[in-house]
Amino acid sequence: MPGFVPDLRKRPNRTPDWYLAYLINPRAVLPFSPMTSYGYLSRDEIEALAAFLSRLKKDSPAPEPISTKDIPETPPGIEGYQAGRSIFFMYCVGCHGESGSGGGPVGHLLSPEPRDFTDAIWMNKQTEAYLFSVTTDGKPDTAMPPFKDILTAKERALVIRYVQFFADPVARERMELRFVLKQ
C-alpha cells in the first residue's frame, strides 16, 4: 500500500536504539505512525531487527550550519508557549518525557539517553541555532531524529523556545499557570 510501507532505500539515518524504541512502541516515537508494535518479539529478535534496519543507513552529507537569522520568529508569551508545548507533547514526550528530563516511555531504551532539558547548566550554554540545528537535522550517534521533513521551520522554532523553559522552572511555572488559567 503506497504511503503505508516505507521505502527503506530512502530511509533517513537512524540508530539501532531509535529502531529498538520504534519497534517496541512506534507511537511513542512517532505519534501518527501506522506501524504496529513488535513488542511480542523477544528482546534478541527486536535487537536483531533493529541492527538490520540501522545497517541500511546510507551516507548523507553533513548538514549546512544554521544561524540565528535562519530561525523563524514565533509568537511571544503564552501563545508561542502553548503552540510549542502542543508540538512537544505530540512529537517529543515519547523520548524526552513530559517534564523534559529525558524520561519518556521509550527514553530508557536509548543510549545515550535523551537530553535532559531541565539541566540548566547545559541548557544555558546552548545557542538557539544549535538547538534548532539538532531539531532540524537530528544528532549523530544518538537516537535524535531529524524533524525537517516532519515539522515546519516555524514548528521547530516553537519547540526549541518551549524546551528553553525547562531550564528555568520559575518562568515555566508562570507559563503553565497562564496555560491552565487560559483553558
Place of cell 546552548: 126
Q: From first to last of its 183 residues, what are the pLDDT tens digits of the chain? A: 444 445 555 556 677 888 888 889 988 888 888 888 888 988 888 888 877 777 665 555 556 677 778 899 998 888 999 999 999 999 999 999 999 999 999 999 998 899 999 999 999 998 899 999 999 988 888 889 999 999 999 999 999 999 999 988 888 788 888 766 666
For the chain, the structural domain boundaries read 8-55, 68-182
pTM metric for this prediction: 0.71
Class of domain 68-182: mainly alpha
Angstrom distance (rounded) from CA 123 to CA 117 = 6
Angstrom distance (rounded) from CA 69 to CA 177 = 31
